[in-house]
Copies of this chain bind each other. A is one copy, B any other.
Amino acid sequence: MNTSSRSLVLPAALPLDGGGVLPRVEIAYETYGTLAEDGSNAILLCHALTGDQYVASAHPLTGKPGWWERMVGPGKPIDTDRFHVICANVIGSCMGSTGPASLADDGQPYAMRFPVITIRDMVRAHVGLLDALGVERLHAVVGGSMGGMQALSLAANWPERAERVLVVASTSRHSAQNIGFHELGRQAIMADPRWQGGDYYAGETPDNGLAVARMAAHITYLSEEALTAKFGRNLQDREAKTFGFEADFQVESYLRYQGSGFTQRFDANSYLYITRAMDYFDLAEEHGGRLADAFANSAARFCLVSFDSDWLYPTAESRHVVHALNAAGAPVSFVELSAPHGHDSFLLDVPALDRVVEGFLK
């Protein structure tokens, strides 16, 4: 597969929803497959909260396979023999695109001086990247979870840029419960004394707080059924309970591992900024309070996919978007897939999803 890791600096400062600008915006991105001469075969793939541009290539820090290798590649549902796939690290993140760890004009990391951004700001940077790459109109924009928010935002705010919009396990707005889980993660990070108001880049990082935030999030990514099937009340490498506070149960051990592993690849301040952008996301509010109006100028075809075991962004959230698209007269297909894994189903082995993705992108 023709893979390329690159980054570029947008030619102009990026205006932000919060009122300010980001003066210098670098975008790190991966591409897979070859762009057709007429530029008609580009797919923008948008990543989730803790995702990155390494959708189908090994992560440079962890060495792990790309997060959607099962979906993206030659002959795969997003077929890189046919399509030119672009996946960019969102601004605010920490894998090469400008974020809180980047240096500000004074040569010091932004840290908490980084402006609070929105999902639309992330997409504005993506659009800047597409402009720089000469991709005027996408064959499709595709995303799961926060990636789906970006896909919806692109469809609503730059309706001429994508012919197809594929939104998996996502929502048009963050619920009170969604905000609550994010807020507890942020409080865990900020409670870590190593966070130091965000100015930790020269010293130790707030790994304890970030690990707790990740543990909380991870519970929400899996269904209760999936946790029970995977771990139940099984003990970890022992015959009996120890009557102590070690990780007696497999689920404890698993969550600790998820938490501590995460801190090796992710910046705590990025976690603050990206969760904030997600909490601020309310596509209807951006468009006068009526979600259908967000899609008034769209000529794209839409496909929404939800999972029956996803309690983070349950099917009702996708249906809410579908109803708005119906009201706007947009062509939309919608399917709720049955999969046991919860929200994480969009990343896992769900053959029905492969078929939906492949069929919709044809």
Contact = CB atoms under 8 A, between A and B. Distances in A.
A179 B184 CA distance: 18
Contacts of A227: 175-177, 180
Given A184-B216, A184-B219, A233-B174, A179 B243 contact: no
A258 to B, nearest CB: 10
A173 B233 contact: yes
Contacts of A335: none
A176 B243 contact: no
A115 B242 CA distance: 11
A255 interface: yes
A239 to B, nearest CB: 13
Given A176-B233, A224-B177, A228-B176, A188 B186 contact: no
A287 interface: no
Contact of A191 (B18, B212, B255): B212
Main secondary structure of the interface of A (DSSP, over half): helix
A111 to B, nearest CB: 12
A269 to B, nearest CB: 10
A187 B212 contact: yes
A181 interface: yes
A192 interface: yes
Interface stretch (A46-54, A101-109, A123-131, A244-252): A244-252
Nearest to A214: B184
Interface stretch (A23-31, A36-44, A74-82, A275-283): A275-283
A360 interface: no
B243 A18 contact: yes
Contact of A215 (B187, B211, B215, B228): B187
A251 B179 contact: yes
A249 B175 CA distance: 11
Contacts of A192: 191
A321 interface: no
A208 interface: yes
A87 to B, nearest CB: 27
Contact of A180 (B212, B219, B285): B219
B276 A215 contact: no
A151 B174 CA distance: 39
B188 A212 contact: yes
A241 interface: yes
A208 B18 CA distance: 30
By Cβ-Cβ distance, the 4 closest A-B pairs, closest first, are A191-B208, A18-B243, A176-B227, A116-B243
Interface of A: 17-19, 112, 115-116, 173-177, 179-181, 183-184, 186-188, 190-193, 208-209, 211-212, 215-216, 219, 222, 224, 227-228, 230-233, 241, 243-245, 247, 249, 251-252, 255-256, 259, 272, 276, 279-280, 282, 285, 311
Given A177-B228, A190-B245, 7 more contacts: A176-B227, A176-B232, A179-B233, A180-B251, A183-B256, A184-B215, A233-B282
